[in-house]
């Protein structure tokens, strides 16, 4: 696998994009994006587990039952969630407008929205924006897409890789947004992956589901799950490789690359948590089963007490042990070891279920770093899991206290 760069859609064959300001945001920043495949593409996705779902989610679930799609229209600023029948009517009208401009069926158009819940999309601005954006779609539009989907994000989140399948160069590129309301089982996050790989819809859905489980579903910023979260992957086959329709060697190569893209985007989301100063990585090793490893990792990375301690570079290992204790994972505390690690070094702070003597000043220095790793060894099996999150800061409260103002 070759890492191309941190730019979206870079060199992915037959994909184009655009991002513009349609006047949906008061700030005047870019707020409308489109991703377009010149060829029909198979599509797979996962959506929020929140029982309250935005109109775009309900519409996408229905449209993705079709074999192919060609466009995704995305707006930031208006969630179009909890807007009743009018919200669903507006979502359908948006798809119809995009389809008309691009000469597609409305069922070939997918849609994403992000922003304030309960606020309807201003349809006059949206329809004018659709006309404008469909006229400026280009192969160089990926970076504009990444900017237009942002809300409280401070940085764009993009990555592109290249692999070789069947002697063909295949690219996979992803873009995401997410900064707050981030919790496992999808979060206030949008993720869009485009690839020119030739893969069946069945195999694409299989690999996407697995990849999301180990990436976006293993991050937590603040424990909230939103109404609009989704991850959509489009594959248009333009690379010309032999169709991947089984779990063969080519499927494994594709999966490894897709996993890399999704994990990188997930880490970028976690690091850009609202007000965050640190990326926290929790590695759980040697668990009795996969479920225990995942539960322990997510429990620690989701703990506000752990996150607050790491913001202050306080090596308070008790909060971490407490978090795995209520994780409902199956482990024996008398076997558990815990180390703190960063680029500044590594220190053992807890061993075989007991406190040990360690230099707190050294430990504090190690975790006073932009990237902190909490290494938890359960010493009870061979399963592992990794979760990502961020510290909890004063800035988080400020951002969310002023979100609608």
Q: Which residues are annotated as a binding site for substrate?
A: 151, 177, 188, 274, 400, 405
Q: Residue written as tokens 């979100």?
A: 403
Residue 363 phi/psi, 5° resolution?
A: -60, -40
Residues linked to residue 347 through DSSP beta bridges, in sequence order: 340
Residue spans of beta strands (DSSP E) within 187-294: 189-195, 219-220, 230-235, 279-287
Which helix (DSSP H) or strand (DSSP E) does residue 165 occupy? strand 157-165
Question: Which positions are catalytic?
Answer: 188
Residue listed under structure tokens 């939103």: 226
Alpha helices per DSSP H over 272-393? 290-302, 304-311, 317-325, 360-367
Other beta carbons less than 10 A from residue 57's beta carbon: 24
Q: Is 181 left (phi over 0), alpha (psi -120 to 50) or beta?
A: left
Local structure of residue 181 (DSSP, 8 states): S
What's the full length of the chain, in residues? 405
Q: Which residues neighbour 173 within 8 Å (Cβ) at sequence distance 6 or greater?
A: 4, 7, 8, 9, 10, 12, 15, 142, 158, 159, 160, 161, 193, 194, 195, 261
């Amino acid at each position: 696998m070759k890492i191309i760069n941190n730019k979206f859609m870079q060199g992915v064959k037959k994909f184009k994009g655009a991002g513009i300001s349609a006047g949906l945001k008061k700030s005047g920043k870019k707020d409308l994006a489109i991703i377009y495949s010149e060829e029909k593409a198979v599509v797979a996705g996962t959506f929020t587990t929140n029982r309250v779902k935005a109109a775009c989610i309900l519409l996408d679930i229905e449209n993705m039952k079709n074999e192919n799609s060609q466009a995704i229209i995305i707006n930031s600023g208006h969630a179009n969630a909890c807007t009743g029948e009018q919200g669903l009517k507006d979502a359908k009208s948006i798809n119809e407008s995009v389809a008309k401009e691009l000469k597609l069926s409305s069922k070939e158009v997918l849609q994403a929205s992000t922003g304030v819940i309960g606020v309807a999309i201003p349809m006059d601005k949206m329809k004018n924006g659709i006309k404008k954006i469909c006229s400026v779609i280009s192969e160089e539009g990926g970076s504009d897409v990444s900017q237009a989907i942002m809300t409280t994000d401070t940085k764009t989140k993009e990555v592109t890789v290249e692999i070789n399948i069947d002697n063909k160069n295949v690219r996979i590129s992803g873009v995401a947004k997410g900064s707050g309301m981030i919790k496992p089982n999808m979060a206030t996050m949008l993720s869009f992956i485009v690839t020119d790989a030739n893969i069946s819809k069945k195999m694409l859905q299989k690999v996407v589901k697995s990849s999301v489980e180990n990436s976006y579903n293993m991050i937590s910023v603040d424990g909230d799950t939103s109404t609009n979260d989704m991850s959509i992957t489009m594959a248009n086959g333009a690379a010309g490789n032999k169709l991947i329709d089984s779990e063969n060697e080519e499927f494994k190569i594709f999966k490894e690359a897709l996993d890399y893209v999704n994990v990188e985007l997930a880490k970028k989301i976690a690091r850009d948590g609202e007000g965050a100063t640190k990326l926290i990585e929790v590695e759980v090793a040697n668990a009795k089963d996969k479920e225990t490893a995942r539960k322990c990792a997510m429990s620690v990375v989701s703990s506000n007490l752990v996150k607050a301690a790491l913001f202050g570079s306080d090596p308070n290992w008790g909060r971490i042990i407490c978090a795995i204790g209520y994780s409902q994972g199956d482990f024996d505390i008398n076997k558990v070891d815990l180390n703190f690690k960063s680029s500044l070094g590594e220190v053992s702070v807890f061993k075989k279920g007991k406190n040990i003597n360690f230099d707190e000043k050294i430990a504090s220095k190690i975790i006073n770093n932009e990237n902190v790793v909490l290494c938890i060894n359960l010493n009870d099996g061979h399963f592992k899991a990794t979760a990502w999150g961020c510290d909890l800061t004063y800035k988080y409260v400020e951002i969310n206290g002023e979100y609608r103002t």
